[in-house]
Every structure is written in C-alpha cells, then in structure tokens.
Amino acid sequence: MEGSYQLTKKQTLFRDVVKNLVQKRIAPRAAEVDGTASFPHEVSGILGQNRLLSLLVPKEQGGEGAGFMDFCITLEEISKICPTSAVICAFQNLGARFILKNGKESHKSYLAAMAKGEIIFGFSLNEAAALDLAAVPVAAVKEGPTYVLNGAPCFVANGDAAGILAIFVRTQGTMSGLLLEKGTALFPVVKIEGLTGSEARYGCQAVFRDCRVPGESLLGQEGDGPRILSEFMGEIGCTAAARAVGVGQGALENALRYAKDRAQFGRPIFQFQAIQSLLAGMATRVEAARHLLYKAASLFDQASKDAFRFAAMAKYFATDAALAVSSDGVQIAGGYGYMKDYPFEKMMRNAKLTQIAEGTNQLQQLIIAKYL
C-alpha cells in the first residue's frame, strides 16, 4: 500500500538493538563529542564496527541492504542522545548512496572504507546553487584530461576530516558534480571556528586556486548537477527530519524525567497543570513529526515520486517542532535548562541547526509550494 509506514516487527527489533547500542557506546561520549570541535573518529569507528555506516549499501556490495525507513529509525535513536553522532551516521550513509547513484565504478572502491569509518565523506551543500547558477562558488574549466578549479565553497560538512569531498561547480554554462579525493586533489581546507551546535560536525571552507583534478572526478555527465543536487537535497532533508524527531523525543524524555524528579512546594513539578500542559504539547508535536517523517521515509523505500514532497514537509515540520519542544524542555528545567551539565540546552542548539542546515526551512517551503 503506497504511503504505508507502520513499523514491522523486524524494524521494531532493529530499533531496540540500535537504542541499546547508543545507550552503551554513544551516550558515555555524548558530552565530550558535543563539547569539542574535533571530529570524533572514535564514534565513527563504533558506528562502523556495528555496521551502521553501510545501511543503504546493497548486500551484494558488502552493505546491509536496509531501507530508508531503517536508516531514519537509526538516526532518530542516535539523535535522542547525541545529535552529532547522528550527523556522522547520516553523511556516511548518504555519501555511499550518493556514490552508488551518481559515481563511476572507480568511485565505488571507497565504499568499504566508508563503511568502517576509515574514509569520511564530506559534502559542500549550497542551497542557493539549486536555484541560481551564479551562486555556485566554484568554476571548473576542462583542460585535457583534467578540470581546473577556482573558488571557495563555504560550509563543507566534515571538511578537514573528509577523505573524499563532493562539490558542485560551474561548467560551460551549467552545473556539474565532482567527487574529489584529497590525495589526488591538493587544496587547503580552512576550519570555521565558533559554530554553535554539533561542534564536532563543524563547517569548513575549501579553497581552490588553479587546482587540477582528474576528469574521472565528474559525477554522471556535465550538466547533471541540478538533478544530482535536487535528489540529494530531498534525501538529506528527510534525514534532517529524522534527527529533529530524535532531538525532540530526547528533549521530551529528559523533560519528563526532570519533572518527575524535581520537587517544588512539597511535590514533583509534574503534578502541576502548567507543566503537564507543556509536556502534552511536546509529546503531540513529536508524534506528529514522527508520522510525517515515516510517511516520507516509506515513500523513498517505494521509489515514489511523492517522496521529495513529503521529505520537504517532514523537514520543515519536524525541525520546527524540535525547536519548540526543546525550548519547552529548557523552560521546564528553568535555570538548570541553561546549564551544560544538563542536556536541555544542547538539544535546543541542535534543534536550531536542523532548521538551517541541509536546506533551510524557507527553502523547504518553496519546494512544497512548487508542488502545490
């Protein structure tokens, strides 16, 4: 049935396995990961050892052959505890899917190392480029068997940790995609300091000055960039929704636990009607966002043409819901909600990031309106 998104028994069991792993292996490192600007290679190693970085790779190519729904369930569970670790999981899996759909046979040699977390996938996503060729920050000129690159894309996710980097460039009046290997394409990556939220998934700026890259770097054909970028933005938007649902659920669970433990005037604050009203609103927003997310994920699994429309809706709604829910969590915790010793402010920071990254919510609204 098209649009069916009831979890199967197998998916429910899988979710419990991921939840148990996150509690045992990721949770003890969550505060450290959130507080450092260094890429947490230990976390990528844990995810790789437990085969969570190759979910979207077919079994015949060494992956898990899981569906997009399984992938989103995984991101949701990780995001409840550590949104940054969920971003790592998201980019490694989407990077593998990206290569399988758009790369050459030579590019597929990266998949095994990506699955182990040994090669990190980086991506430069400039949503304005999807609407305006002039906004593409890098120009590529074909000279014999190579492309010569000039420009500096900003906010390259995982930039200085990445072994391979996907970027979009201007080529002969159109946009094309390139997959670059740092070992064969020499260019400096400048770290952007002081980002708020998911600091370990920091942004970077790659700088290209007469940088020569092999023609083999081209994804698809010249001019395929708009199609490749559009498809990737739909998929990455859905994963942002999954992370947002996880952040919202994590904020709700922490707020509920706090409200039951915190006493005022001789009783737990959960017994006060004002707190109950806040929690009820939080629970409703999270559940509504989850249903929209699962609808989108199920449509991706069915290769439905409606998947991208629902992905935009899920990203827009779920990320707004996550910010509202995490903000209410801070409100319930009061002054403690602003302290780094508690998880509330971390959830609120990361919820805000989901509204901005992977295509702003205003862009999602334009996408939805286009379908209308």
Q: 181: number of CA atoms within 13 Å, CB side?
A: 15
> Is residue 76 within 8 Å of residue 143, measured between CB atoms?
no
Dist. CA 305–CA 234, nearest whole Å = 11
Are the C-beta atoms of 163 and 120 separated by less than 8 Å?
yes
Q: Torsion over CA of 296, 121, 111 and 88, rounded to 10 degrees?
A: -60
Amino acid letter, 276: Q
> Coil, strand, or helix at residue 145?
coil
* 370 contacts: CB under 8 Å, gap ≥ 6: none
- Tell me which of 127, 181, 222, 358 is the catalytic residue: 358
CA distances from 200 to 144, 194, 264, 321, 358 (A): 39, 11, 37, 24, 16
Q: How many residues are recorded in the chain?
A: 372
Report the C-alpha gap between 301 and 313 in whole angstroms. Answer: 17
Angle at 251 between CA 245 and CA 252, to 5 degrees: 90
Which of the 8 DSSP states describes residue 154? S
358 is catalytic: yes
Please list, residue by residue across 28-66, b when 16 or more beta carbons sit within 10 angstroms of its beta carbon and e when fewer do.
ebbeebbeeeebbeebbebbbeeebbbbbbeeeeebbeb
Tell me the C-alpha to C-alpha distance, in Å, between residue 42 and each of 74, 197, 200, 317, 347: 18, 19, 12, 32, 22
CA terminus-to-terminus distance, the chain? 23
- In DSSP notation, 11-80 reads HHHHHHHHHHHIIIIIGGGHHHHHH-SS--HHHHHHHHHTT-S-TTS-GGGTS----HHHHHHHHHHHHH
CB 21 within 8 A of CB 31: no
| Residues taking part in catalysis | 358
